[in-house]
Amino acid sequence: MRLKGLESIREGDVLAKPVYDDKCQLLLAKDAVLTESYIHRLSQANVQCVYIEDELSQGLEFENVIPDTLKIKSINTIKQAFKTLSERKSATYTVGNIDAIKDVIESLMSAIYANKDTLFCMTELMGTDMYTYNHSAEVAILSMMVAKSMGFNNLFIEKIGMGALLHDIGKMKIDSSIVHKNSELTEDEYEEMKKHPQLGYDLMKEIYNISPISRQIILLHHEKLNGVGYPLGLEESDIPVHVRVVTICDIFNAITSSRSYKKKMNADEALEVLRVESVYELDREIYHHLMKVANIYPAGTLVELSNGQLAIVVKENKEAQTRPVVQIVKSGKRAEVLDLMEHLTLFVSRTVDF
Ligand SMILES: [Fe+2]
């Protein structure tokens, strides 16, 4: 299987993963053969890319830490919680929602521990209208994996996961025309958007069954180590480690996601951006943990090698993620297999999207 942008999808392409609508209901099942009307349905639902099965990627599977069904359940719970928490229904209702989120965190934790050697990989299963919820779920999963790699205890990891799931809840209090805008924000709109950490913190302030650690994440996830962040402009030691974990995972996930107004970055490009930013703005040590848990070149990724040859990734290398096992592509067909750990003069120069 491999990920293909909707603009390059053709009739006859076969879906390798199901696609869901904004109610988390199945839009198209796995193995569906795409027709003109199916492609139209995908574009109506604002889906940006799908996983397809083709000759080139046949037999290539990537494992993900979190099964799709659990991810959909998490997204559904977050969506429900965001709605009711922002509507400020009765206290019992709110507490119930937080409990539902705690159950999701527990399920995610069990999945992370059960698949301990599996890396994190983006799986965009729904349209961009669901961006905030999908993004919240992915930031939570990634943050918990990074926190685990850093050796934190389970209780602390769960609180980090909870903060990460709710980090953008303040966006529910911002005009949806700004939150869902399909183009870049104006200066005024950006100023408005920058209020979401404080608005989210205010929403959570009176809720007793959420830890101060999770609340701090909601308030401080846009702070930067050199003081250029918001809302408080804190610096270095004033920014707690649990906040730093979510900040870096939030940025990584945001720049590797497809939103309608910008092209998504591949994981390798995103890590390069973060590597540069981690010199001044982000935590360098956490960056290295992120590199360990994120799958840079999942199976099925088409890449160009340093000698100009096209190749498809057939297996990741957990010890040296920048050197996967690849299969050379000649005249649209898979040819010889090379383990880049054994061919040290060759390296991946870029990911190719087609
Ligand atoms: Fe945010």
Per-residue confidence (pLDDT) for residue 97, from 0 to 100: 80
Average pLDDT over the chain, rounded to an integer: 90
Residue 280 included in any domain:
yes
What is the arithmetic mean of pLDDT over 294-319? 90
Residue 32: its pLDDT value, please?
95
Q: How would you write 261-283 as a 3-class SS string?
A: CECCCCHHHHHHHHHHHCCCCCC
Q: Which of 81-85, 109-113, 133-137, 173-177 has the lowest mean pLDDT?
A: 81-85
For residue 163, the CA-to-ligand 1 centroid distance in Å is: 11
pLDDT of 7 reads 83
Q: Is residue 179 part of a domain?
A: yes
DSSP state of 123: -
Most confident of 87-91, 133-137, 230-234: 230-234
Among 143-157, 229-243, 313-327, the range scoring the smallest mean pLDDT is 313-327
φ, ψ of residue 226 in degrees (nearest 5) = -90, 10
Give the span between the Cα atoms of 41 and 181, in whole angstroms.
21
Buried b (16+ CB within 10 A) or exposed e, 228-237: ebbbeebeee
Supply the range of the domain harboring residue 38. Answer: 2-53
Measure the CA–CA gap between 183 and 171, rounded to whole angstroms: 17
CATH of the domain at 219: 1.10.3210.10
Do 137 and 201 sit in the same domain of this protein?
yes
Cα–Cα distances in Å, from 227 out to 212, 237, 247? 22, 11, 14
Q: What integer pLDDT is reported at residue 93 of this predicted model? A: 67
CA of 192 to the centre of ligand 1 (A): 12
Q: How far is the CA of 221 from the centre of ligand 1 (A)?
A: 6
For residue 255, tell me if it sits in a domain: yes
**Residue 92: pLDDT band by 50, 70, 90 thresholds?**
low
Residue 58 belongs to some domain of the structure? no
Within 8 A by CB and 6+ apart from 106, the residues are: 158
| Cα 258 to ligand 1 centre (Å) | 17
Same structural domain, 312 and 274: no
Q: How far apart are CA 252 and CA 145, in angstroms?
A: 14
2: left (phi over 0), alpha (psi -120 to 50) or beta: beta
Q: Is a pLDDT exceeding 70 seen at residue 354?
A: no
The Å distance, Cα 126 to ligand 1 centre, comes to 20
* Reported confidence tier of residue 95, pLDDT bands at 50, 70, 90: confident
Give residue 97 CA to ligand 1 midpoint distance, Å: 21
* Predicted confidence band of residue 296 (pLDDT cuts 50, 70, 90): confident
Report the 3 state secondary structure along 249-263: HHHHHHHCCCECCEC
> In this structure, which amino acid lies at residue 267?
A
Residues 194 and 322 in one domain: no
One domain for residues 285 and 343: no
pLDDT at res. 88: 67
- Greatest C-alpha distance within the chain: 63
162, part of any domain: yes
Q: Tell whether 273 is covered by a domain.
A: yes
Distance 194 CA to ligand 1 centre (A): 8
* 60 is a domain residue: no
Residues 210 and 315 reside in one and the same domain: no
Model confidence band, residue 91 (pLDDT cutoffs 50, 70, 90): low
Distance 197 CA to ligand 1 centre (A): 6
Q: Are residues 251 and 323 in the same domain?
A: no
3-state secondary structure of 313: strand
Rounded distance from Cα 169 to ligand 1 centre (Å): 8
In a domain, 177, yes or no: yes
Can you give the pLDDT at residue 188?
96
To which H or E segment does residue 26 belong?
A: strand 26-28
Residue in the block written with tokens 């209020």: 195
Q: Write the single-letter amino acid at 238.
A: D
pLDDT tops 90 at residue 261: no
Distance 222 CA to ligand 1 centre (A): 6
Distance in Å, CA 115 to ligand 1 centroid: 28
Centre of ligand 1 to C-alpha 168, Å, is: 5
105 CA to middle of ligand 1, Å? 19
Q: What share of the chain is helix, strand, coil (3-state, %, to 5)?
A: 45, 15, 40
Tell me which of 24-38, 80-94, 279-293 is least confident.
80-94
pLDDT > 90? residue 105: yes
Claim to verify: residue 258 and residue 308 sit in the same structural domain: no
Indicate the DSSP class of residue 32. Answer: P
Count how many domains the chain has: 3
Helix runs in the chain, H state only: 36-44, 68-87, 91-114, 131-149, 154-166, 176-179, 187-193, 196-204, 212-220, 241-255, 267-277, 284-293
Q: Are 123 and 9 contained in the same domain? A: no
Q: How far is the CA of 348 from the centre of ligand 1 (A)?
A: 32
Look at residue 8 in the predicted model and tell me its pLDDT. Answer: 84
Cβ atoms 310, 352 nearer than 8 A: yes
CA 323 / ligand 1 centre spacing (Å):
33
Q: 122 or 297, which is more confident?
A: 297
DSSP state of 330: E
pLDDT at residue 329 above 80? yes
Assign 266 a pLDDT band (cuts: 50, 70, 90): confident
Structure confidence at residue 58 as a pLDDT band (50, 70, 90): confident
Could you give the percent of the chain with pLDDT greater than 90? 53
Co-location of 105 and 186 in the same domain: yes
